[in-house]
Amino acid sequence: MRIRCAAMSIESVITRIRAYATFKGWSRRQYAKAAAIQDTTLRNFHKPDWNPTRKTIRKLEEVIPTTFAAQKPSAPSRSAKSLTGVR
């Protein structure tokens, strides 16, 4: 199990999780499968008020390499649109 810096805010962790999914081009279902969680757990993943449990955050973070750094958002790619529900 990886130890993360406790100084990260929940918002920055969620931003990192979303950025990694976009970086990988994963749909919610693909990310859920990689994290070994139910895909319905990520049904509100794209909403600003998404409020995952600590357990969900831990599982999603375990998939992300410690070397991954979220970049500032740019225009959404096609893969990002599948995560956000934008068509």
Is residue 5, in this structure, part of any structural domain at all? Answer: no
Is residue 17, in this structure, part of any structural domain at all? Answer: yes
CATH number at residue 78: 1.10.260
pLDDT at 76: 54
3-state secondary structure of 35: helix
Is residue 19, in this structure, part of any structural domain at all? Answer: yes
Question: Which residues form the domain of 77?
Answer: 10-84
Is residue 4, in this structure, part of any structural domain at all? Answer: no
Is residue 15, in this structure, part of any structural domain at all? Answer: yes
Is residue 47, in this structure, part of any structural domain at all? Answer: yes
pLDDT at 1: 47
CA angle 36, 65, 53 (to 5 degrees): 45
Residues 60-77: tens digit of each pLDDT: 999 999 999 876 555 555
Residue 84 has pLDDT above 80, yes or no: no
Is residue 35, in this structure, part of any structural domain at all? Answer: yes
Residues 3-57: tens digit of each pLDDT: 455 567 889 999 999 999 999 999 999 999 999 999 999 999 989 999 999 999 9
Closest listed residue to residue 46, CA positions, set 19, 10, 12, 74 = 19
| Domain count along the chain | 1
